[in-house]
Amino acid sequence: MATQAKATPRKRLLEAAATLTYQHGVGIGVDALCQAAGVSKRSMYQLFSSKDELLAVSLEECAAACAAWLLPAADDDCPPRERILHVFEQVESQAGAPEYRGCRYLAVQIELKDESHPARQVARRVKGKLTAFFRGEAGRGGASDPDLLARQLSLVYDGASARAGIQADNLTGLIAPTISTLLDSAGVR
């Protein structure tokens, strides 16, 4: 029976940051992060110059997994309309889970007021990629104004994930008709 190697202190810190900030917000303390990771503060500061850097790197490392879960495969043959709807189906499928807290990147942008904070910059970049995905699909689908539709879709995405994240609304049966109305109005096939 092979023994799995224990994750490195760096990896454990990144995982702790991803988990704890999603559950409790970016205000989580260094002590709690280090305790959850089983790493001393000294080790943390040897690996990361600050908690801010740890948060930013953690968000960056989560981005690929989040995109893989949220977005359809780049090489699928689905029409743009279905590719856009896929994103919202993914949110709806997770929104009812008790551990769902909404979009981690939106939460970071809301919680961190300092525009220059490295974690906020990562979050802005990730959210910008989602809007760019919507814009590209809207253009391919024949939208009359792809930029406007992308912004509208981003607005609905953020609102839906935020409301579901605070358990203010159940997205089942709500989100697909809303998105379909927007896509129909914009002429997306």
Q: For position 5, what pLDDT does the model report?
A: 61
> Measuring CA to CA, which residue among 59, 57, 53, 19 is closest to residue 35?
19
Structure tokens given for 27: 């205000």
Residue 40 has pLDDT above 90, yes or no: yes
| Percent of residues, the chain, with pLDDT higher than 70 | 97
Cα(24)–Cα(158) distance, rounded to whole angstroms?
19
Domain spans in the chain, listed from the N-terminal domain onward = 59-186
Residue 142 dihedral angles phi and psi, to the nearest 5°: 85, 20
Please tell me what DSSP assigns to residue 168.
S
Cα(71)–Cα(74) distance, rounded to whole angstroms?
8
Residue 69 has pLDDT above 60, yes or no: yes
Residue 70 has pLDDT above 90, yes or no: yes
To the nearest whole number, what is the mean pLDDT of the chain?
95
Burial class (CB within 10 angstroms; exposed 0-12, middle 13-18, buried 19+) of 49 = exposed
DSSP reduced 3-state for 170: coil
Tens-place pLDDT, residues 83-109 = 999 999 999 999 989 999 999 999 999
Residue 186 has pLDDT above 60, yes or no: yes
| Residue written as token pair 């997205």 | 171
Residue 2 has pLDDT above 60, yes or no: no
Structure tokens given for 111: 């919680």
Tens-place pLDDT, residues 117-148 = 999 999 999 999 999 999 999 999 999 999 99
Q: Give Rg (Cα) of the chain.
A: 19
Q: Any idea which of 1-10, 142-151, 174-183 has the lowest mean pLDDT? A: 1-10
How far, CA to CA in Å, does 162 sit from each of 104, 111, 135, 169, 186? 10, 13, 21, 9, 24
Q: For position 1, what pLDDT does the model report?
A: 44
Cα(74)–Cα(93) distance, rounded to whole angstroms?
21
Look at the domain 59-186 and name its fold: Tetracycline Repressor; domain 2 (1.10.357)
Structure tokens given for 46: 């040897």
pTM equals: 0.92
